Amino acid sequence: MSIFQQPGLHTDTSNPGDVIKLASFDWIVQQTQNGRNPVKTWDLRTFKNAGKKVGVWGVSYADSKTISIEDDCARLVGSAGGADLMVMNIEYRLTVEQAKRLVVGLAPFKGPKALICVIGDLVAQKDALKILLNDGWNIIGEMYLCDQENLTAEQSEFQAFHAGIPIDRYSHALGMYLGLRGRFITGAEHAASLSAAKAGKRFSLWMVEQGPDSNWAELTAYIKTQSPAPAPVPTPTPLPTLEELNTIAKRAIVLAAMEYEAGLAALGLPIPKNGRIPHAKRICVDPAKQYPTIQPSVKNLLESIGA
């Protein structure tokens, strides 16, 4: 399973929240490259030491905010020292030719990669996205309810399906910032949207440092509802005592003798007067009397079971 199928975080600050607050999230990416802006560097060790997969993310533009796709990629790759994963956010409708340039530009980074793009354009970008998918990328759709009421997880999944994106390669970015609708979307509202689409834990928080603290508790509670309950620990069967083992073994000797004599009867053969059942009973009760006359292999058996 790709790391991007687990809950994650996108931030452009050095400290989006304490490690305890982020406990339910598996990965975090910190912005290092954004068009022509100076490249930022972060100390990734805090979150790595907390067991998180840590990466970098950048932004590529199609206008004067950037030099070229190649420059965006080179600057992002150059900032990825020690990173486990990488995310590229594009601010344009991706073409096949641009997708090929992204693949080449980010090829030096060998970890998992994902592209963030506008979900309303997924179908129009179908051929371009296929190139990234064939290169092993994941796709993250911008589910920014803070900007538009109709940008729900269900709409996002619908667009991804018609764009030919496999469900195990697709996830949702939840906009946590104060958007065009003039208010923060609560964690509970996001959780309701994800639940309606049966999206599970395939989501990440965009600009996670923004929004009220209550979002953390609400989304953490949602994540817990999506986690399978731990399997019950089986109660170990107690081992039999030596006395119990001896009883089991002796019973088996008698049962074998009974089975033998029943077989003789079934074949119409005579059963010796002093047959195996009496012998078996005597062996189990007092083996010392029979010990000198029995075969070595039986002696070994009796000795091993303490008969």
pLDDT of 64 reads: 77
Residue 185 and residue 47 share a domain? yes
Domain-embedded: residue 235: no
The pLDDT of residue 290 is: 56
What pLDDT sits at residue 234? 67
Residues 6+ apart with CB under 8 A from 240: 248
Q: Residues 212, 247: one domain? A: no
pLDDT of residue 1: 74
Does 124 lie in the same domain as 40? yes
- Domain identity same for 55 and 15: yes
- Statement to judge: residues 127 and 257 lie in one domain: no
| 245-304: pLDDT as tens digits | 777 777 777 778 778 888 888 888 888 777 777 777 666 665 555 555 555 655 565 555
Pick the last residue of a domain from 191, 226, 261.
226
226, 251, 285 — which closes off a domain?
A: 226
Q: Is residue 285 situated within a structural domain? A: yes
Provide the pLDDT for residue 150: 86
State which residues of the chain have pLDDT below 70.
14-21, 119-120, 228-235, 281-307
How many structural domains compose the chain?
A: 2
Give 193's contacts (C-beta < 8 A, 6+ positions apart): 143, 145, 152, 153, 154
Full domain range(s) for residue 270? 242-305
Is 182 in the same domain as 58? yes
Q: Please count the other Cβ atoms lying within 10 Å of the Cβ belonging to residue 140.
A: 27
Residue 275 lies in a domain: yes
Residues 40 and 174 in one domain: yes
Residue-level pLDDT at 101: 95
Which CATH number do you get for residue 119?
3.20.20.80
Is 15 found in the same domain as 84? yes
pLDDT at 132: 96
Q: What is the pLDDT of residue 233?
A: 64
| Whole-number pLDDT of residue 232 | 61
Is 232 inside any structural domain? Answer: no
Q: Is residue 32 in a domain?
A: yes
Question: For 228-249, what is each residue's pLDDT tens digit?
Answer: 655 566 667 777 787 777 777 7
What are the distances in angstroms from CA 231 to CA 18, 96, 178? 30, 46, 41
- Model pLDDT, residue 199: 93
Domain end point (choices 196, 226, 256): 226
Specify whether 246 is located in the same domain as 221. no
Look at the pTM and tell me if it is higher than 0.85: no
Residues 6+ apart with CB under 8 A from 239: none
